[in-house]
């Protein structure tokens, strides 16, 4: 099935190639930088752990697990217009119930510009309205299916390093799809105030070593860059060409070389 949220950096286009690394015999599917979790929804593993440092996203998934019907009903009752969008965008989530905060998250995600998640320095979502062409709210059936799928997953919101070190064990499959932090190019990576930069590449390399030591398998997807050489040292590498569409402006959407780094 396809993910419910629109997400800059989603790996939709790489799913056929990424799926080749997965075997149903793995005990657990673990995703450290989940975003829209396109690979998880595609593979439909029976036991999963999903993590993302974006707390609003994970809280929204938690509500989706519990109340897909309520979310769908509320979302189709809200008008898709510029005025309503900015009203919801300016609302203070600290004063909202968990349910209303999830409605706000899914509404803004659906109708924002290009499915981008970006906040200002004080953590307030600041992506502009995307116009009428962002697509409709998914059907009730899609909300119900996504909710069922998420019931097989334990969700958490923390930094990838502590998440992986706390969880990975022999028999696991760990997928890591960090924002592309590359020093020589501007690639969209402003997911939130707390994100992944070139200074985190060494931590990622250390985490891969630890996963391997524990007898688990991993796949990292990354943009071909000087950083990939550092991450790939000692592991198997495969390259593929994909259309990258994370920049937000169509003139920045271009073919890019993606690299898979793995111990499989």
Ligand X SMILES: C[S@@+](CC[C@H](N)C(=O)[O-])C[C@H]1O[C@@H](n2cnc3c(N)ncnc32)[C@H](O)[C@@H]1O
Q: Shortest gap between Cβ of 256 and ligand X (angstroms)?
A: 13
Cβ proximity to ligand X, 111 vs 188, nearer residue = 188
Contact residue for ligand X among 129, 160, 218, 260 (CB under 6 A): 160
6 is a site residue for ligand X (CB under 6 A):
no
**Cβ 181 to ligand X shortest distance, Å:** 9
When binding is defined by CB under 6 A, the residue of 44, 67, 159, 212 that contacts ligand X is: 159
Please list the residues that pair with 172 across neighbouring strands. 28
Q: Binding to ligand X by residue 54, rule CB under 6 A? A: yes
Q: How far apart are CA 188 and CA 116, in angstroms?
A: 9
Q: Which of residues 62-121 bind ligand X (CB under 6 A)?
A: none
- Provide the minimum distance between the beta carbon of 251 and ligand X in the complex, in angstroms, as a whole number: 21
Q: Which residues pair with 256 in a beta bridge?
A: 242
Q: Which of 4, 28, 30, 35 binds ligand X (CB under 6 A)?
A: 35
- Residue of 219, 196, 174, 177 lying closest to 27 (CA atoms): 174
Provide φ and ψ at 182, rounded to 5°.
Answer: -125, 140
**Separation of alpha carbons 185 and 180, rounded Å:** 10
Element (H, E) at 83: helix 82-90
Residue with tokens 């396809």: 2
Q: Is 138 in the site for ligand X (CB under 6 A)?
A: no
Site map (CB under 6 A) of ligand X, residues 179-218, x = contact: x-----------xx--xx----------------------
Q: How many chain residues touch ligand X (CB under 6 A)?
A: 21
Q: Rounded to an integer, what distance in angstroms lies between the CA atom of residue 143 and that of residue 102? A: 13
Structure tokens at 256: 């890019």
Among the listed ranges 87-95, 173-181, 209-217, 254-262, the one in contact with ligand X (CB under 6 A) is 173-181
Tell me: does residue 149 bind ligand X (CB under 6 A): no
Please work out, in degrees rounded to the nearest 5, the angle formed at the alpha carbon of residue 194 by the alpha carbons of 221 and 37.
Answer: 40
Q: How far is the CB of 194 from ligand X (least distance, A)?
A: 6
The CA radius of gyration of the chain, in Å to the nearest whole number, is: 18
Sign, Cα dihedral of 26, 161, 188, 36: positive
Among 6, 9, 116, 219, binds ligand X (CB under 6 A): 9
The CA distance from 151 to 67, in Å, is: 12
Pick 107 or 196: Cβ nearer ligand X? 196
Smallest gap, in angstroms, from Cβ of residue 87 to ligand X?
Answer: 25
Minimum gap (Å) between residue 60 Cβ and ligand X: 12
- How many distinct helices (H) and strands (E) make up the chain? 10, 7
Q: How far apart, in whole angstroms, are the C-alpha atoms of residue 129 and residue 114?
A: 9
Contact residues for ligand X (CB under 6 A)? 7, 9-11, 32-33, 35-36, 38, 52-54, 159-160, 177-179, 191-192, 195-196
């Amino acid at each position: 099935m396809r993910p419910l949220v629109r997400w800059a950096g989603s790996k939709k286009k790489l799913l056929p190639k990424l799926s080749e690394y997965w075997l149903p015999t793995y005990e657990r599917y673990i995703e450290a930088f989940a975003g829209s979790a396109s690979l998880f929804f595609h593979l439909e593993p029976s036991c999963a752990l999903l993590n993302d440092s974006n707390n609003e996203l994970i809280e929204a998934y938690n509500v989706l697990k519990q109340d897909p019907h309520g979310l769908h009903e509320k979302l189709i009752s809200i008008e898709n217009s510029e005025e309503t969008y900015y009203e919801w965008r300016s609302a203070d989530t600290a004063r909202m119930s968990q349910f209303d905060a999830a409605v706000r998250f899914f509404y803004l995600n659906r109708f924002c510009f290009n499915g981008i998640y970006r906040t200002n320095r004080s953590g307030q979502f600041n992506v502009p309205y995307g116009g009428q062409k962002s697509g409709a709210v998914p059907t009730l059936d899609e909300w119900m299916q996504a909710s069922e799928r998420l019931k097989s997953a334990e969700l958490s919101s923390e930094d990838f390093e502590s998440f992986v070190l706390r969880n990975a064990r022999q028999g696991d499959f760990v997928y890591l799809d960090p924002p592309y932090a590359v020093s020589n190019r501007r690639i969209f990576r402003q997911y939130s105030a707390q994100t992944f930069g070139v200074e985190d590449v060494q931590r990622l390399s250390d985490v891969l070593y630890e996963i391997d030591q524990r007898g688990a398998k991993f796949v990292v997807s990354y943009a071909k860059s000087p950083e990939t050489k550092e991450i790939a040292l000692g592991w198997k590498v495969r390259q593929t060409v994909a259309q990258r569409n994370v920049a937000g402006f169509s003139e920045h959407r271009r073919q890019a070389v993606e690299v898979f780094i793995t111990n499989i």
